[in-house]
């Protein structure tokens, strides 16, 4: 049998029983704590539009040589990067805590995920991107060749500033592309250090460029450039649509967009579900990482027969969480990324305090910057949740009657990223999963922390284009395909054939 998690970090993140469970597997806490104390967030140079132009020119020049580098060598570069990153785990965790304010447990998981992406895409490239001979008629040779498309633009978010950044970049690189990477403005330093590591591992300077700056200017200039051969984007649905429009309107070739965006992710709980299991999954899915994951649970749909009990347990669980300094191992929930996020979530919570029924909230110690308390509200209808709220805010709705109608209402929200199903009726779980237009469906467990290579991640509808990151089809979208058909009967054969017609 296959090991449970080939590339994931032993599946610990996905199956953690409490927020601190993955920390139990950390053998070396002291180096981590030291690394956090020592971490320095360097400032980075901001790019200009002229820099974008120069970078694309250089990448275009570097592309043919990198694209012609044998697949095994490109894969070897990724494996060297993985080894280097793994050996520098404490340092990168320290930087992540300081720059992205993620909890130490989340940072360890994130560095491991980035390592997994490098190793997984190296393996996938070798397994899937090699040229193949295709059977055809006698006198002809047919081959399928996959290679890079050219200059690929990768635009990544602040919530996984290392794992998603690195995952996009190494996927594009190993497929043979030259890459222009534009990390989130909030988290440039970790991207800067990862790019240095990739260059040290053997990615040529003119095959990978890093451009810092706002999406509205630098991201937009990269996307709009006629020479851009593809875009990989993780972020909001609204920005994905802007990118799509820009790509459609720009001069030059028709190019692909790989977009992974947001979700109004639901968990559907029926009358047979185990309440303890539900509440454990809810706490992990809604509040871990301060709810700043696109996979996070936003909408809990609980059957009326078990709702009172589940709600009571959620209230109790909320009281137990620790909001605090992300560098402390005892902290469950750290701060939001910045003041803008804090204002947005605070406004939403203030509105719900007036319009919805408060279920419970976590105590918020005084003096924390940009922190909001995990909180849960009850609302009358699924349709009352119409917006992705990127923070530790849970919306609970009771349902009665037909469970299939609940899935229909969730589908009607238009997003399709993650779904939780809690039931002890196996056939029902399968029927609902099949009916859901949703990319990642989790039955009787939490719904975050997809493991690279084991749980390919990504959505449909308003949640993105696919293919799934960390899955077997991802690299193909970064490639151009060429079918090479050669008449092996050669010129003499053709001549003989033609002679027959005269």
Environment class of 196 (CB within 10 Å of its CB; exposed 0-12, middle 13-18, buried 19+) = exposed
Mapping DSSP to helix (H, G, I), strand (E, B) and coil, where does residue 139 land? Answer: coil
33 is catalytic: no
Q: Nearest distance from residue 73's CB to ligand UN1, in Å?
A: 29
Q: What is the b/e burial string over 140-162, where b = at least 16 CB atoms within 10 angstroms of the residue's CB?
A: eeeeeebbbbbbbbbbbbbbbbb
CA dihedral 212, 214, 215, 216 (to 10 degrees): -140
Instruction: With contacts defined by CB under 6 A, name the span among 52-60, 340-348, 358-366, 445-453 that binds ligand UN1.
Output: 445-453
Please select the residue that binds ligand UN1; options are 150, 157, 374, 471, rule is CB under 6 A.
157
Contact status, residue 298 vs residue 265, Cβ threshold 8 Å: yes
- Find how far residue 393's CA is from the centre of its chain: 20
Choices 100-108, 341-349, 395-403, 448-456 (CB under 6 A): range interacting with ligand UN1 = 448-456
The window from 27-35, 133-141, 153-161, 361-369 that contacts ligand UN1 (CB under 6 A) reads 153-161
* 121 lies in the site for ligand UN1, by CB under 6 A: no
Distance, in Å, from the CA atom of 94 to the CA atom of 100, rounded to the nearest integer, reads: 10
Q: Name the minimum Å distance from CB 156 to ligand UN1.
A: 9
Q: What is the DSSP string of 254-282?
A: ---EEEE----EEEEE-TTS-HHHHHHHH
Contacts of 457 (CB under 8 A, 6+ apart): 260, 295, 439, 440, 450, 468, 469, 470, 471
294 binds ligand UN1 (CB under 6 A): yes
CA distances from 157 to 118, 190, 232, 304, 376 (A): 18, 12, 11, 38, 26
Bridge-based pairing of strands 132-134 and 140-148 is antiparallel
Question: Taking each helix axis from N to C terminus, what angle separates 104-128 and 89-100, rounded to the nearest 10 degrees?
Answer: 120
Q: Which of 33, 110, 260, 388 is catalytic?
A: 260
Q: Which is nearer to ligand UN1, 187 or 295 (CB)?
A: 295
For residues 212 and 293, which CB has a smaller minimum distance to ligand UN1 in the complex?
293
Please tell me whether residue 464 binds ligand UN1 under the rule CB under 6 A.
Answer: no
Catalytic residue, from 107, 118, 232, 294: name it.
294
User: Closer to ligand UN1 at the Cβ: 230 or 449?
Assistant: 449
Identity of the residue, 63 or 160, whose beta carbon is nearer to ligand UN1 in the bound complex: 160
Active site residue 294: yes
Give the binding range for ligand UN1 (CB under 6 A) out of 268-276, 304-312, 333-341, 446-454: 446-454
Number of residues that bind ligand UN1 (CB under 6 A): 11
Q: Is 295 in the site for ligand UN1 (CB under 6 A)?
A: yes
Q: Which of 32, 191, 341, 448 binds ligand UN1 (CB under 6 A)?
A: 448
229 is an interface residue for ligand UN1 by CB under 6 A? no
Shortest distance in whole angstroms from residue 294 CB to ligand UN1: 4
The runs of H, that is alpha helices, within 101-201 are 104-128, 163-174, 188-201
Any idea which residues carry the catalytic annotation?
A: 260, 294
Residue ranges in contact with ligand UN1 by CB under 6 A: 157, 159-160, 234, 293-295, 448-450, 457
């Amino acid at each position: 049998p296959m090991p449970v998690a080939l590339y994931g970090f032993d599946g610990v993140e996905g199956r953690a029983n409490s927020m601190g469970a993955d920390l139990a597997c950390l053998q070396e806490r002291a180096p981590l704590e030291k690394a956090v104390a020592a971490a320095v967030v360097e400032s980075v140079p901001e790019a200009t539009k002229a820099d974008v132009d120069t970078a694309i020119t250089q990448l275009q020049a570097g592309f043919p040589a990198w694209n012609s580098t044998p697949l095994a060598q490109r894969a070897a570069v990724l494996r060297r990067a993985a080894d280097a990153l793994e050996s520098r785990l404490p340092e990168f965790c320290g930087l992540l805590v300081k720059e992205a304010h993620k909890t130490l447990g989340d940072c360890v998981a994130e560095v491991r995920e980035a390592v997994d992406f490098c190793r997984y895409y190296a393996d996938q490239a070798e397994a899937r991107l090699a040229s193949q001979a295709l059977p055809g008629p006698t006198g002809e040779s047919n081959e399928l060749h996959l290679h890079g498309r050219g200059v690929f633009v990768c635009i990544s978010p602040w919530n996984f500033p290392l794992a998603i950044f690195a995952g996009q970049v190494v996927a594009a690189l190993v497929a043979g592309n030259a890459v222009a990477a534009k990390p989130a403005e909030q988290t440039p330093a970790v991207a800067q250090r990862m790019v240095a590591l990739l260059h040290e591992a053997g990615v040529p300077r003119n095959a990978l460029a890093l451009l810092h700056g706002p999406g509205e200017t630098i991201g937009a200039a990269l996307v709009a450039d006629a020479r851009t051969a593809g875009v990989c984007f993780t972020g909001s649905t609204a920005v994905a649509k802007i990118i799509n429009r820009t790509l459609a309107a720009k001069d030059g070739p028709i190019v692909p967009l790989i977009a992974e965006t947001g979700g109004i992710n639901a968990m559907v709980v029926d009358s047979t579900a185990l309440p303890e299991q539900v509440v454990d999954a809810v706490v992990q899915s809604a509040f871990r990482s301060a709810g700043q994951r696109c996979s996070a649970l936003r909408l809990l749909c609980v059957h009326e027969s078990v709702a009172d009990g589940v709600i009571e347990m959620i209230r109790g669980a909320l009281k137990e969480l620790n909001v605090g300094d992300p560098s402390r191992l005892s902290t469950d929930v750290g701060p939001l990324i910045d003041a803008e996020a804090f204002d947005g979530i605070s406004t939403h919570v203030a509105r719900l305090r007036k319009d919805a029924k408060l279920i419970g909230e976590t105590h918020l110690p005084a003096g924390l910057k940009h922190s909001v308390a995990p909180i849960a509200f009850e609302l009358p209808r699924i349709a009352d949740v119409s917006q992705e709220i990127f923070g530790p805010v849970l919306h609970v709705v009771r349902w009665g009657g037909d469970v299939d109608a609940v899935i229909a209402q969730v589908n009607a929200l238009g997003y399709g990223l993650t779904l939780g199903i809690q039931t002890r009726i196996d056939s029902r779980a399968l029927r609902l999963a099949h009916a859901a237009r949703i990319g990642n469906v989790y039955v009787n467990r939490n719904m975050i922390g997809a493991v690279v290579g084991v749980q390919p991640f990504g959505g449909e509808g308003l949640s993105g284009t696919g293919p799934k990151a960390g899955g077997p089809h991802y690299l193909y979208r970064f490639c151009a395909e060429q079918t090479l058909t050669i008449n092996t009967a050669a010129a003499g054969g053709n001549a003989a054939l033609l002679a027959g017609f005269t």
